[in-house]
Amino acid sequence: MTEKEKMLRGMLYAPARDETLLAELAACKAQCQQFNQRAYQAEGVESAQMLLRRLLGAAGEGLRIEPPFWCDYGWNISVGRNFYMNHGGVILDAGGVTFGDNVLVGPQCGFYTSGHPLDAAKRAQGLEYAYPIRVGSGVWIGGGVRVMPGVSIGDGAVIASGVRIGRNSVIGAGSVVTKDIPAGVLAAGVPCRPIRPITAADRMLP
């Protein structure tokens, strides 16, 4: 079994021992750099968006990502319609990252499917693991949020920059999401935890 096959199966793997993974990493970083350089050049806006679509595994209509943006492979990222990510987004997508429709991601957010063993000897061997992240439709992820390996955020959840949202779930800015978050709740903290359901009364708030 190759290291890439181990990665895709959620097993411990050593990316530095797999020439295919190394080549894909290098190619992805080069594409990210090209996107970041072209995104705000008047003559490069359209080509930058084309670069994004070639970089990502799947993307619906209405895709927009602000530079700088970095990811590991690109092909292991899937975004639905009307996906928006603000400046400074990082997606470590070895385990696969899937976003639903109408997802908004605030600045300086990270989605980390990759992790390392607690055992120092295993880390010294260059071993790591990658577990998928899934973000449902209608989610808002506000500034400075970190989403850890293996997390699912339910449809309609919101990870917000300290503001109140009248519908769906809200997760406070700066949260570290280590466990699944259901839809329709207010959640916050490090680690992020549901605090209460979002109710009809919340829809009346600004």
Closest Cα partner for 177 from 150, 199, 204, 201? 150
| Predicted confidence (pLDDT) per residue in 103-146, tens digit | 999 999 999 999 999 999 999 999 999 999 998 888 889 899 99
CA distance linking residue 27 with residue 22, whole number of Å: 9
Token readout for 94 is 């070895």
Contact residues for 118 (Cβ-Cβ < 8 A; gap 6+): none
CA distance linking residue 191 with residue 174, whole number of Å: 10
Report the share of the chain in percent with pLDDT over 70. Answer: 89
Query: pTM for the whole thing?
Result: 0.91
Token readout for 140 is 């808002």
Whole-number average pLDDT of the chain: 88
Q: Which residue has the higher pLDDT, 46 or 201?
A: 201
Torsion, CA 96, CA 102, CA 108, CA 111, rounded to 10 = -20
Burial class (CB in 10 A: 0-12, 13-18, 19+), 204: exposed
Neighbours of 39 (CB within 10 A): 20
Active site residues: 116
Tell me what pLDDT residue 162 has.
46
State mean pLDDT over 43-72. Answer: 89
